[in-house]
Amino acid sequence: MDMMDKGIDRIVEQLRKGGRNVVFTGAGISTESGIPDFRSQGGIWDQYRPVYFDEFMKSREARIEYWRQKTAFYHDLQKARPNKAHLAVATLYEMGLVEAVITQNIDGLHQASGIPDEKVIELHGSNRRVRCMSCGRISSIEEAHKRIEEGDPAPECECGGYLKPDTISFGQAMPEREVEKAIALSRTADSFLVVGSTLLVHPAASMPGYAREAGAFLAIVNLSETPFDTLCKVLIRGKAGEVLPKIVDRLKAG
């Protein structure tokens, strides 16, 4: 039995015990769905200079550039479907073996895989909805892109506020409620499974630390190194779409 199989068996054994199990996901779970990674070499921030939140709020030119960047990968988002890893996490949830998902991703693919919205904590917001920066009204991303296609490069709300995808930009405050919820889940987890995250972006990257401090069984499935590799109980270097379905299959096999 190779190291990956041993690791999978240890995760399966732990999940079988039940308890409060949390899955934490990053970009690595969604790249297999065709969603581009932001931070890796050749990712979004290699191609574009990020528009900071204060620039967005002060300058129409910055808002036009922001929306131009969003439009560049809007069609990737529209085409993206949950992959085997997302579906495996959804199956674990349906089996009653996962309490909630904390995600750094902004693609909405966990909800699309069948996990209820209230069970997905989106630490960095979502690209699938738009928020008015003045009145807070939520509208659809499709509505905003239709306006852009019709010649409005920086759409505004009826109240005059600036419309922005409901994601956290550089320099923008993290969503307090979501962060608090994620910390509470991490501190009460019996198992904490990290999938597809380098665990470098804070405060999201602090969550495995909270879980470990509280005595949780910490497991990591990721292709590259993380700061927690020597601190976890199980480390699997592998693709999420290959590893997670094996976990589900072994759990179902009894």
State which amino acid sits at residue 215: G
Q: How far is CA 12 from CA 18, 195, 214, 233, 250, in A?
A: 10, 15, 21, 13, 7
Residues in the chain: 254
Is 124 one of the annotated active-site residues of the chain?
A: yes
Helix (H) or strand (E) holding 10: helix 3-16
| 3-class secondary structure, 217 | strand
Given 86, 110, 124, 145, which residue is catalytic? 124
Q: Is 30 exposed, middle or buried (0-12, 13-18, 19+ CB in 10 A)?
A: buried
Residue closest to 74 by CA, chosen among 110, 33, 125, 128: 128
| 3-class secondary structure, 124 | coil
Region at 34 (left for phi over 0; alpha for psi -120 to 50; beta for the rest): left
CA 253 to chain centre: 29
Q: What are the phi and psi torsion angles at 189 (to 5°)? A: -75, 140
Q: Is 219 exposed, middle or buried (0-12, 13-18, 19+ CB in 10 A)?
A: buried
Residues with active-site annotation: 124
